[in-house]
Structures are given as structure tokens and as C-alpha cells.
Structure 1
Amino acid sequence: MILEGAARVLEEQGLAGYTTNAVAERAGVSVGSVYQYFPGKEALTAALVARETGLLIAAVQEAAEAATPELGLRRIVQAAVAHQMSRPRLALLLDREENRLQLDDNLDAVTRAISSAFLALLGHLEPRPPVEAETAAGDLFALVRGIVDAAGERGERASDALEPRVLRAVFGYLGLPAAMP
């Protein structure tokens, strides 16, 4: 309840209006209740970042269990795009706060989870990636994150336009035929 209140305040008021008082009011709790669970705004933000990236990690891990590696790659891209586009303002602000607060453990967890999902799929891919699988997994993570985050920074809101571009980049990097929706 408090985390969702925080998410809504960020979406509606941005960082300027993101205060513990505003979060408490939006969540329908006292400010004391907010401080009971979170010692400050930074801790609240860190918990919100963890919640949101946890959702992305779960979607990516599920995607990696697809019937074919190509379908798994497509689903990872879909998960990344959906994560950015379902709540675009929140995703953008949390990305910025994640960097500002130096939430390295969270960033590392996301990197490991998504790179591991790519690595698992690449192990079953024919033809093999053009470089060592670990390198390819890291490159694919960087490629997807870069395109998706840049789209968010530009204010893009159309996942149906973004997803095909990311898929072309991923499949092109791997030397696979273009995977269009």
C-alpha cells in the first residue's frame, strides 16, 4: 500500500512532489506509518526500485523457460519493453533515482538475472552466437537496456513501435532472421 502510494506520487507529481507526507496521504496512512517501515525517503525509493525490478526479473526468468530460444529472446524483449512502457514515467524516474542513490546491489541483480536468462537461451540457439556466449549475453543485455532506456528518456510511449526495433537489434546481433511480431 505504501509502495504503491509512493509509485503514484512519483508518477503524478514527479520528484519535486515526492515527499513522505505526499506518499502517506496517497497511501491513506499516517506519515508515522511510512517511517515505521522506511527510515527515510531514500529507503522508500530503494524499496520501490526493488519491487519494480523484481517484477522485471520474474518476467525475464519466466521468458527464459520458453519452448524455443527464439521465443525466449522475443519474450525477454517483450518483458523489458512492457516494464518500461506499462508505467513509463515511473520507470524513468526510478532509473534516475537508482543511479543517484547508487543502488549497485539492485543494478547487479538485474544485470545478473537478465544476462543469465540470455545465456540460458543462447546455449540452445542454432547457429551459435557470433562471440563467446557470456559475452553475447552481456552484449544483448546492454543492447536491450540501452534501446529501451533511451526510448523512455525520449518519452516514447508506444510499445508496439519499440518492441520491433529491439527485436531487430537482438536478432540482427545474433545473425538470425528478423523476428517480427
Structure 2
Amino acid sequence: MTTRDPASINRVRKRPKQARSRAMFEDIIEAAARIIERDGLGAVSTNAVAETAGVSIGSLYQYFPNQVVILAELTRRERELLREGVSSASLQREDASMEHALEGMIEAAVAHQLARPHLARALDFAEASLDLIAETELMGEDIMTSVAAMLRRYGYPRADEAAQDLVSMAKGMIDAAGLAGETDAAALSARVRRAALGYLRY
């Protein structure tokens, strides 16, 4: 990876507007993900990404000044998939019991971590060098807001405090499982569910 440049880490050169350009933009990001899964984080370079995406290096540079920005955009994409998955799970189970609503949110988070485990582990490792702390905190707040809203629907006391604890607990267990190379989503979901329900019933 190139030396970190705080002024450029969080910014692409421009955002694509036309459908064809947006598709190419996404192809570039996905190419980086495939390289990470195949060869590891250290194999990501602008030339390798352009070749894998099937675009010219000039086309890549229209949007991405370096591979660090590509990795930052990939990290954002994966975070948004997680946020959307958890929020959607909460809405889909509005009529279920609190336990089942929480179970859906846990399953969504576990599914995201284990869907592409090598990618998730690599991005967790790279995150510290991408200077995305503020964005990470905002995403965490969004997820906690979804959990707190779910708890309030069922009249659970201290919903905000409980949401913070539950999210921290689940994140710790899920991240640790990912780093350990676990692949059994059902078993991991069951463990996180037991911990979460134990907390709620205390």
C-alpha cells in the first residue's frame, strides 16, 4: 500500500453520474475485493485493480488517485451493506417478538461478516490505516439507533444504553469469529443470540 495521505484518503477524484460510468466505478471497487480474496491485501495496486476490472489505468485514475482511496471506497461499500442489512432486518420483523426481531438483526450482521470472510478480515486489518474513524463511529451510531428503536418498540427500559451494550457485544463476538476463521453462520448467530438474550433478561 502507498504511504497514507490524509488529504486524499477519503476522496475520489469525482463521482460518476452516468449509468455506464457508475458501473465501471463499481467494477473497480469489486476488482479490489476479488484481488484481496485471491492474493491478499498487499496485492492491491492500481495496475492490478485496473487489469482485474478490465478497464484502462487512465479510466481508473479518473476516479481514484491511488489504491488507498479504492480501499477506502471498498470499506465504505461493505459498511453500507452491513448497515442496510441490519436496518432491513429490524423493519422486516416489526410484528415479531423482541427476541425474534433481535435475532434477525444478529443474523444479518453475521451473514455480512461470513459472506466474504477473507475480505472482511482484510478490511478490518486495513481500517486502522485508512483514517475512517469518524465514518466508523457514524455507522456504529446508525446501527445502535436501529437497535434502540427496536427495543423501544417493545418498551424495553434504558433502550439507548442497552443498544450500545448489545452492539458492542455482538461486534466483538462477530469480529473475533471472523478473525478466527469461523465459517458456520448458524453456530455463530446462536452464540451471539444467547449472549444478547442473556443480557436482555438480566
Q: TM-score, normalised by structure 2?
A: 0.81
Secondary structure, aligned partner of 1:64: helix
- Where 2:62 maps in the other structure, the secondary structure is helix
Match of 2:198 in 1: 172
1:33 is matched with: 59
Runs of 4 or more, structure 1, over 6 Å off, are none
Contiguous gaps of at least 5 residues in structure 2: 1-26
Amino acid at match of 1:83: H
Q: How does 1:26-175 map to 2 (within 5 A)?
A: 26-65=52-91, 66=93, 67-68=95-96, 69-125=98-154, 128-129=156-157, 132-175=158-201
Show CA shifts across 1:95-121 (max 9, x none): 121222120232122201110111011
Q: What is the rounded CA distance, in whole Å, between the counterparts of 2:201 and 2:129 in structure 1?
A: 37
- CA shift, 1:139, in A, is 0.5
Which 5+ residue runs of structure 1 have no aligned equivalent?
Answer: 177-181
Q: How many residues align?
A: 173
Give the partner amino acid of 1:29: V
Tell me the distance in 2 between the aligned counterparts of 1:138 and 1:52: 21
State the shift of 1:70 in Å. 2.3
Q: Distance in 1 between matches of 2:129 and 2:147?
A: 27
Equivalent position SS for 1:123: helix
TM-score w.r.t. the length of structure 1 is 0.90
Greater shift, 67-76 or 1-10, is seen at: 67-76
Give CA-to-partner distance per residue, 1:46-95, whole Å, 9 cap, x none.
Answer: 11011111111111111221223322211110111001000000011111
Q: Percent identity?
A: 43
* Shift of residue 45, structure 1, vs aligned partner: 0.7
How far did residue 16 of structure 1 move?
1.9
**Distance in 2 of aligned mates of 1:19 and 1:171:** 44
Could you tell me how far 1:125 is from its partner in structure 2?
2.6
